Structure 1
């Protein structure tokens, strides 16, 4: 079965030419944790999503996959 995708962190990092390690450094978080977010093995807390959006200078909604059109 395909793994459900909940966030777009990996895609947005690629669009901006940034890496998981860069994001981990900016957030002062463990690189393994950020890597798990990018692989959708684990999801960041809502508060962390807002921090990620701030670091990436975008609306937090961009980081989420819509549940309906």
Structure 2
């Protein structure tokens, strides 16, 4: 996946005043996994993306980087 950015999890966490550790604890996930999501080294499954959105009280689409308009 290289340097491409696919999600905004780190940005939304910052907007909500939450940390990676908080998200890991809330979702009962490994902190390293959450860290990889936040740095776009790895992407969560769609199911997990919806769980993240629920935990952060946002729409799932707010966690994704939008494609350029045509």
Q: So what's the TM-score if we normalise by structure 2?
A: 0.93
Looking at structure 2, the residues matched to 37 and 46 of structure 1 have their Cα atoms a distance apart, in angstroms, of: 13
**Matching residue of 2:53:** 53
TM superposition outliers: structure 1 runs of 4+ over 4 Å: none
- Structure 1: stretches of 5+ with no match in the other structure: none
Query: Deviation at 1:68?
Result: 2.5
Separation in 2 of the partners of 1:48 and 1:68?
Answer: 25
What count of residue pairs does the alignment treat as equivalent? 68
Please report the RMSD computed on the Cα atoms of aligned residues, expressed in angstroms: 1.0
TM normalised by structure 1 equals: 0.94
- How far apart in 2 are the matches of 1:16 and 1:58? 10
